Structure formats: C-alpha cells, structure tokens
Homo-oligomer: A and B are copies of this chain.
Amino acid sequence: MSPVLTSSKVVAHLANGQELSVPVYQFKGSDNAPSVYIQANMHGAEVQGNAVIYQLLEQLRALDVKGDITLVPLCNPIGINQKSGEFTLGRFDAITGNNWNRGYHFNPQLPIDFAKQNPDLPFAQIKQQFRALIINDLETQLLDNPYGLDTAQHLCATLQRMAFDADIVLDLHTGPISDRHLYCPEYTKDSAKLFDIPHTLFIPSGFDGALDEASFCPWWQLQLAYRAQGREIEVAVDGFTLELGSQEWLSLEDAKQDSAGILSYLSAKGVVEQGLFNPATMTRYACYLKDYRALYSPKSGLVEYLAPLGRKIRAGEPLVRLLRMDRYGHDDVIEVIEAPEDCIAILHFASASVNQGTELYKVFTHYFTL
C-alpha cells in the first residue's frame, strides 16, 4: 500500500486574472528504483490518458511503489478548455497557432560542453551533476529573462521541470482517429516490447520540441558527446510518447488495459515489483520515423475512410473514397485513393470533409516485426 500525495501547480494565467493549475499526484518510492514522470492531455482533445492515470493511481496505491512516481493528468488546462464548436480545439495555442507539444526546452550546447569539461567523471556523478545542470538551465530560462517567455513556454517549462527529476518520462497522447502506437527512441528499441502497444515508431536523436525528446535528448546527446571522446556511457533517462487510441473518447475499461501495459514496463524497470506485470503476447510492428508517412488529399471533397486502422494494406488497396457531390454525372463524382505502397494504417483524419492537402491517413511503411 502506497499513499498518494496530492498537490497542484500553477501553469498559466488567464486574461481575467485567474490562474490555471494542474493536479499533481505523487508516490514516494520505498526503494532506490528509477523515478517516473507521467502526464496526460497536453493536447486538449486527447483525454483518454487521464483515465489511464486514474487506473494507474488505483493500481499503484495498492502496491509497493519502489521509485518516486509523479502523475499529472489534465496537464494543459489552456488546451483542455479551448472549445470551438462542440469539439476541443486545443492542439495549438489559439492565439499563435503553436502546437502545445513543441514548446519544451533543449539546449544542445550543454551535453557537448559537459562532456568536454568532465571527461573522466564517474557515471553516478555525471548523472547527478548533468541533471543539476539542465535543471538550472531550464530554471534560468524561466526566471531570468527580461523579455519573458511565451504562453506555451511557460506551460511547458513548468511541466518539464517536474519531468527533469525523473529517470522515466511517459507522455500520454492519442491520435485523431487512431490505433495505439508508441514513439520510442532508437537507442532503447527493446523497451518497445515491454508495453502492450502493437505499433512502434523508432525516433532519432534530433530535437523537435516534444516532451519525450526534451527528456531523453540531453542524455542521449551526452552519450554521443562522450562517445565522440572515446568513452561509452549509458543513456540515463528514457522518454516515450504513448498514443492511446482516438481523441474525444473516454473509456475507463480501455484505460484499465493501457494501465496494465504501462505497469508491465514499470515492473520490468523495477519501479514496482519485477514480474508482477508482464507484457501481453502480441505481434509488434515497428518502423523508423522517416518511414512514417502522411498521405495528403490530392483533391478536396467528402471522405469515407476505408482502410481499417492497425491493418496491413497492400500498395494499390483503397484508403479512402472521395465523394464530390458537385460532380454528379462525371467520372470523378466518386474516386478512390489508394495506398502508394505497402503499409499499416495507423490513424486517419477526424473529419469527413477535407480540403486539398488535408492529411488523410498516417501509415507505417517499410515496417518490420519486433
């Protein structure tokens, strides 16, 4: 039995002066296991991760939690509360258009300088001192800036500060209409088999602003910096983005399953008793990020999505049917758009009408079995 510590953190201030805050739930680890940070709902419509955190809390408090765990549901109160029509719009800042999950901070100079200045430091101290360094760099950026930070940077920095204390960072998202899939950094491919997620994207060491990258990039690039100096160290922090189905969808039953998958990973890492939870048996497919392709609509029209999610599609098989009711009586009143190459359909657009150039599907190409 582990008690849940409850607190909250202010992450934004609205025009009418009110503060928006995130709830923070924490377990104090009974042992020296890795520490964990889990957040959900960075994009406003992607609510299912909150239910997963609910189920994790229900399970964890009945267990012996061996490492510190911090769980932050509803982590972007600006995005969550931004409606436009019935749906939640909050994928990007309504003022600027900035994707909320691109506002995290990474300073590429830090790993290079640190490795240069500490070529022979023992790994335990590297871990401690480098962590202190990136935390200090983040806090300086937050506090010590006469021109201030933009709204996304405020929000992201506050969340990232909590994540920087952890050895394992899980960011719970969903796709639009989507099958489950996992973003996993290439240096730790085997981790993908510890989750109950059938599709994995292996991502390279570059930084594009997301939380998973902001978590592992400093450490991965530190590894690369030491490697360039001829020394091999491990990557001390693992970060993953879990895409747990579709947006605007809540199911406590489904959440239980996803919570079990996360517990099997945490169990493997010793955060809860090893062997207590085990990954499900399933065929797991993966591809590299460069082979994760978006298909943009060559024409505008109304869309019937034909390719089932999570399934293998052969080149030439239909992905969508495009209906153009201004063209009745012509050959192009109905057109079928086909898969350009063999692929697995991972997600599709959430609306039944598209402009020319709207993303229809995202697919794994050149996929392989893990």
Residue ranges of A at the interface with B (Cβ–Cβ < 8 Å): 4, 6, 8, 12-18, 20-21, 23, 25, 44-45, 47, 50-51, 53-54, 57, 73-74, 77-78, 80-89, 91-99, 146-154, 176, 248-252, 293-304, 321, 323-329, 333-334, 340-341, 349-359
CA distance A299 to B13 in the complex (A): 7
Query: Which B residue's beta carbon lies closest to that of A247?
Result: B352
When all copies of this chain in the complex are counted, the total is: 4
Show 22 residue pairs from A and B whose CB-CB distance is below 8 angstroms, ordered by the A residue. Answer: A4-B329, A6-B328, A13-B299, A18-B81, A45-B85, A47-B352, A53-B325, A73-B325, A81-B81, A82-B82, A83-B95, A86-B349, A88-B353, A92-B92, A92-B96, A92-B97, A97-B98, A147-B294, A148-B357, A149-B357, A248-B352, A252-B334
Is B326 within 8 A of A23, CB to CB? yes
CA A15 – CA B88 in complex, angstroms?
10
CB-based contact B86/A149 at 8 Å? no
Best-buried of A96, A250, A325 by chain B (most CB within 10 Å): A325
- A208–chain B nearest beta-carbon distance, Å: 14
- Determine if A176 and B18 form an interchain contact, defined as CB atoms under 8 angstroms apart: no
Q: How far is the CA of A323 from the CA of B80 in the complex (A)?
A: 14
CB of B298 within 8 A of CB of A148, answer: yes
Known contacts: A293-B147, A300-B15, A302-B15. The answer to whether A95 contacts B325 by CB under 8 A is: no
Distance to closest chain B CB from A147 (angstroms): 5
Question: How many whole Å from A200's CB to the nearest CB in chain B?
Answer: 21
Q: Is there contact, CB below 8 Å, between B296 and A357? A: no
Q: Considering the chains assembled together, what is the distance between the CA atoms of A299 and B14 in angstroms? A: 9
Contact A12 B74 (CB under 8 A): no
By beta carbon, the residue of chain B nearest A339 is: B146
Assembled-state Cα–Cα distance A74/B15 (Å)? 10
CB-nearest residue of chain B to A155: B357
Q: In the complex, A21 Cα to B324 Cα: how many Å?
A: 14
Min distance, Cβ A258 to any Cβ of chain B, angstroms = 15
Known: A23-B326, A323-B51. A295 touches B252 (CB 8 A): no
Which residue of B250, B298, B326, B329 contacts A17 across the interface (Cβ within 8 Å)? B326
Residue of B nearest to A95 (CB): B83
Chain B residues, CB < 8 A from A91: 85, 97
Residues of B within 8 Å of A47, CB to CB, are 302, 352-353
Among residues of B, the one whose C-beta sits closest to the C-beta of A92 is B97
Chain B residues contacting A298 (CB-CB under 8 Å) are 148
Q: How far is the CA of A50 from the CA of B93 in the complex (A)?
A: 26
